[in-house]
Amino acid sequence: MTTVHRLYELQELDWEIDRSQTQLTSVKEQIEDDSELVRIRDEIEEQQNTVRQLHQKQSTQTLELQAIEDRVKALDSRLYGGSVKSPREMESGFSEIQIAKEQAQQAEDQLLAMMVELEEAEKRMARSSEELVRMDEERGKSLVTLGEERTTLLKQLEGLTKDRGEKVSHADPEHLVRYEKVRQARQGYAVARVERGMCQGCRLTLPTHEMQRLRSGSEPIQCNSCARILYLS
């Protein structure tokens, strides 16, 4: 096996490690991310506040209505109880009752509107609570799957890292340093295949003498254009 072939295989292994690492990162992020649940819990909390406030408003309104109705009753009994005698007093009593009755009607209408509003708010809250139960269940299931995926990926990475250690131990340290340097400079793509006389890393056609050096030499040659280590398979 030529040195470059070894490096090429190392790169394939590194790519696999990178892929597994990316997957592992994504799985870990998904495990940690419970933003959807947080969002629905916040929503429910807000809805609970709304319902509480509407309940309070409704009881205040009920008391207010009660007070007006009591006033109407009191006015009624005063007016028809025989204590009011003069027509002027009677007249003012009637108009007072009239006003109080209108106020009672208004308060009743408001109370009715509040009840409708409260009912809707409670329905919304119930829907969100159902949604939370559903999401909680789903999250539980997906956490199991994600946990399994994480275990598999960790095992996979452990194996790959071991393989890498073995490969590296057989490689020429100097070539390895060069490989790592190019790998870093070229975003992980350090060894490029040469196909039909062309570097597959940068698509540049290699000069004839470079091709000859590549065919004969066992030392790694780097592309003049992209600096990748050239691999003639």
Among 202, 210, 222, 232, binds Zn ion (CB under 5 A): 202
Q: Which stretch binds Zn ion (CB under 5 A): 53-61, 81-89, 127-135, 191-199?
A: 191-199
**Residue 158 Cα distances to 19, 20, 39, 154, angstroms:** 13, 10, 36, 6
Which one, of 215, 213, 2, 207, lies nearest residue 225 by Cα? 207
Our CB check for Zn ion shows the closer of 146 and 199 to be 199
Among 47, 72, 201, 214, binds Zn ion (CB under 5 A): 201
**x/- map, 144-183, Zn ion, by CB under 5 A:** ----------------------------------------
222 with 228: CB under 8 angstroms?
yes
Our CB check for Zn ion shows the closer of 21 and 225 to be 225
Our CB check for Zn ion shows the closer of 170 and 209 to be 209
Our CB check for Zn ion shows the closer of 15 and 80 to be 15
Our CB check for Zn ion shows the closer of 68 and 226 to be 226
Among 75, 194, 199, 221, binds Zn ion (CB under 5 A): 199
Distance CA 3, CA 179 (A): 11
Q: Does 225 bind Zn ion (CB under 5 A)?
A: yes
DSSP conformational letter for 187: T
Q: Which stretch binds Zn ion (CB under 5 A): 72-80, 90-98, 181-189, 224-232?
A: 224-232
118 with 54: CB under 8 angstroms?
yes
Distance CA 55, CA 62 (A): 10
CB of 177 to Zn ion, least distance (A): 20
Residue of this chain nearest to Zn ion (CB atom): 223
CB of 7 to Zn ion, least distance (A): 15
Q: Which stretch binds Zn ion (CB under 5 A): 2-10, 62-70, 150-158, 192-200?
A: 192-200
What are the DSSP calls for 24-57, one per residue? HHHHHHHHH--HHHHHHHHHHHHHHHHHHHHHHH
Among 68, 153, 223, 229, binds Zn ion (CB under 5 A): 223
Q: Does 221 bind Zn ion (CB under 5 A)?
A: no
What token pair was written down for 62?
A: 């009920």
Helix or strand or coil: residue 191? strand
Distance CA 195, CA 27 (A): 37
Q: Where are the alpha helices (DSSP H) in the chain?
A: 3-32, 35-80, 87-170, 173-185, 208-216
DSSP conformational letter for 222: B
Among 6, 226, 229, 231, binds Zn ion (CB under 5 A): 226
**Could you list the residues that contact Zn ion (CB under 5 A)?**
199, 201-202, 223, 225-226
